[in-house]
């Protein structure tokens, strides 16, 4: 997220990344904390300070334009990242920030209370019905007709997941 916002290439030297981060944040103390969180500094700071720096950076960005922060696959996230997301959602009152996370349904089995709270919401997407999955497959095939056996195998294997339809077709 920070690399994208600050136009930092993964190949950029650390000093260039820190300089761009400071320019982006407009605050050397915020940049110092974010750089530490990202491993661009040897300085070790308490987690609360790192969270503060990241929140301040995002609020600064949101003061210019509304900000959407998308974090995919949080079911793989370390507990500290989940805590950071919770901190952001609970503490950015008044800032024009939407934090959008995607996760597999089993995330809630491991962390049942995650994404609860007055500033949080949860949208659970069920499997696609059979006719919708068939439509996804048809759209992907672009008019090419699959043999019925192959079509049924793809739809059964995808089990209502449009990504799986795509992956099975590509295989």
Cβ 124 vs Cβ 105: under 8 Å: yes
CB 25 within 8 A of CB 17: no
Decide: helix, strand or coil at residue 120: coil
Both tokens of 91, joined, read 């503490």
pTM: 0.80
Alpha carbon of residue 86 to chain centroid: 13
For 99-142, what is each residue's pLDDT tens digit?
999 998 888 888 888 888 888 888 888 889 999 999 999 999 99
Q: Which pair of tokens denotes residue 96?
A: 């024009």
Supply φ then ψ for residue 125, to 5 degrees.
-95, 120
Q: Which residues pair with 23 in a beta bridge?
A: none
- pLDDT value at 170 more than 90: no
71, two tokens: 């974090």
pLDDT confidence of residue 104: 87
pLDDT in tens, 142-162: 989 999 999 999 999 999 999
């Amino acid at each position: 997220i920070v690399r994208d916002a600050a136009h930092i290439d993964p190949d950029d030297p650390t000093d260039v990344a820190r300089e761009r981060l400071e320019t982006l944040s407009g605050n050397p103390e915020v940049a110092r904390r974010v750089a530490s969180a990202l491993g661009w500094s040897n300085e070790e700071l308490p987690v609360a300070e790192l969270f503060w720096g990241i929140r301040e950076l995002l609020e600064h960005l949101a003061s210019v334009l509304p900000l959407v922060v998308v974090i995919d696959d949080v079911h793989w996230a370390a507990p500290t990242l989940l805590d950071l997301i919770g901190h952001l959602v609970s503490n950015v009152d008044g800032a024009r920030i939407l934090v959008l996370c995607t996760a597999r349904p089993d995330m809630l089995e491991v962390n049942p209370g995650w994404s609860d709270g007055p500033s949080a919401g949860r949208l659970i997407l069920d499997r696609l019905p059979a006719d919708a999955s068939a439509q996804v497959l048809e759209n992907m095939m672009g008019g090419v007709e699959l043999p019925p056996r192959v079509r049924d195998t793809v739809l059964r294997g995808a089990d209502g997941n449009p990504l799986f339809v795509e992956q099975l077709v590509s295989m």
